[in-house]
Amino acid sequence: MTKFVFVTGGVVSSLGKGIASASLAAILESRGLRVTLIKLDPYLNVDPGTMSPFQHGEVFVTEDGAETDLDLGHYERFITTRMKKSNNFTTGQIYKSVLEKERRGDYLGKTVQVIPHVTNEIQDYVKRGAAFGQPDAVDVAIVEVGGTVGDIESLPFLEAARQMSLKLGPNQTAFVHLTYVPWIAAAGELKTKPTQHTVQKLREIGIQPDALLCRADRRVPDEEREKISLFTNVPEWGVISMWDVDTIYKVPRMLHEQGLDGLVCDKLRLSTPPANLRRWDELVHEVEHPQRNVRIAMVGKYTDLSDSYKSLNEALRHAGIHNHARVAIEYVDSETITPESVERLADFDAILVPGGFGKRGIEGKICAARFARERGLPYLGICLGMQVATIEYARHMAGLEGANSTEFEPQTPHPVIALIDEWQDAAGEVHKRDAGSDLGGTMRLGAQSSDVKPGTLAHQIYGAVVTERHRHRFEANEHYLERLQQAGLVISAITQREKLTEIVELPQSVHPWYVGVQFHPEFKSTPWAGHPLFISYVKAALAHQTAANADAPPPTPRVGNGQQEAA
């Protein structure tokens, strides 16, 4: 029977429940257990697809096309299990399902209430995510409850977790509570009172945590751990310090050395071999001992919140690890890039333009793409980044003055990027690919495969076929592809079914590394395997850095204190 570990949070949000949950899953997986993770989000949105990246961070897309919370990205990077739509659900989905059942008469005229109808629905969703009772059921499902204890929105989820622990019986569930232990500089000490109060709140609703993960900017001393244990009714060995570290990949070892996995296995009566964290230790060693440094300018629209590009940041760091380099990502607001200010991008080793929606900052992204093309800087455009590269090339190399996307300029004379049902030829006649297609005007989501053109850079990276995940609405207009190719742009990958443009690039005889991809490769990168596209990109950035240093004039000697020093 599948066992469940519920991970809750208290005091404040953004403490790292996702990292803690993924780290615990990684340790349990290293013990030979089959593990999955499920994220419960308490907001009323059906999914995060329509939420602002400034408020929610990135939207992580699964293989089956679900738009989910960014924590699912952490899950996939830490364990081998791939996430699906059933691994993330929201209050909105729960109420939508309950109301649909009520309209169908499934409740046989009963008064529909939060208890038991909503809480039962939550339990059904949790069991579905763990394949509970199915042949492919996992050994342990770690269920992360979003929000903090005390929030009205989270109460039905916590009540459902309490009911599950009661129904499943002893040794079938465990509760891990993440809390905050602040350092008060004026007093010069850590304060345990917020943790005491949040556990008290949790116990009021009938949940006694088995372990506390105490987040702090430093290690929580034994004296404070003993005090927390006394006031929360959690054994001292269950009060675990979780301090700030310079890389998230140190967290599994940190939790293991304090016995969290042993505690959980004891609680759930799981007999397993000892944890083997050797590959985590090797990964951390590689992170801490880079041989080189490389600077990449990420020219984006959501640069005020780095979580907007969480998977992308991690994919670049993974690629750095596989190139024995530390990747320094510097965010550049595309609204600040103009033909006059774009020159500052020359200080970087490569340029990356990520995805996004809406008109704001688009001309800055187009400037960045042109600068990279003309200066020979390695360029990677992802989703919107591919589209702006196509627009830039159409304007300045294919002679299509005013070329644009209909997303930004509906009346553009040359819609080189458009919805499928907006595609036009040069004469302005609308061409619809398929009257029965549901692609026009809708989001293209999930994994799709494309054929890759031999002899291209994309073929060197991917081979004959590329399968990646998507999240976009607008496509490269097929009626302009021939003209773009005549001007020198290479269409190096096209989808197998709809024949949509997936990868564009410049020949390596013209530019050392210039690639735009319509999909989101960052969603499939892991620290163990990296991702071939990002590994190739970072390698190109290092090569550009080497070439630039070779071309630079030798340092000018200077004299100081009677001795000659290197400038």
Reply yes or no on whether 522 is catalytic: yes
User: Which of these, 283, 295, 304, 194, lies nearest to 549 by C-alpha position?
Assistant: 295
Distance between CA atoms of residues 51 and 36, nearest Å: 26
- Provide CB contacts within 8 A for 107, sequence distance 6+: 101, 117
- Supply 196's token pair: 């005491």
Q: How many CB atoms lie within 10 A of CB 532?
A: 18
User: Which of these, 235, 242, 244, 231, lies nearest to 263 by C-alpha position?
Assistant: 235
Distance between CA atoms of residues 88 and 76, nearest Å: 13
Distance between CA atoms of residues 460 and 453, nearest Å: 10
- Provide CB contacts within 8 A for 381, sequence distance 6+: 352, 353, 369, 387, 388, 389, 515, 516, 517
Residue 7 backbone phi and psi in degrees, to 5: -110, 120
Residue of 76, 159, 422, 522 with catalytic role: 522
Reply yes or no on whether 286 is catalytic: no
Q: Using alpha carbons only, what angle is made at residue 457 by residues 456 and 462, rounded to the nearest 5 degrees?
A: 100
Q: Using alpha carbons only, what angle is made at residue 315 by residues 312 and 319, rounded to the nearest 5 degrees?
A: 140
Residue of 74, 144, 383, 502 with catalytic role: 383
Residue of 256, 520, 531, 544 with catalytic role: 520
What is the per-residue burial (b if ≥16 Cβ within 10 Å, else e) of 342-374?
A: beebeebbbbbbbbbbeeebbbbbbbbbbbbbe
Distance between CA atoms of residues 342 and 98, nearest Å: 53
Catalytic positions are 383, 520, 522
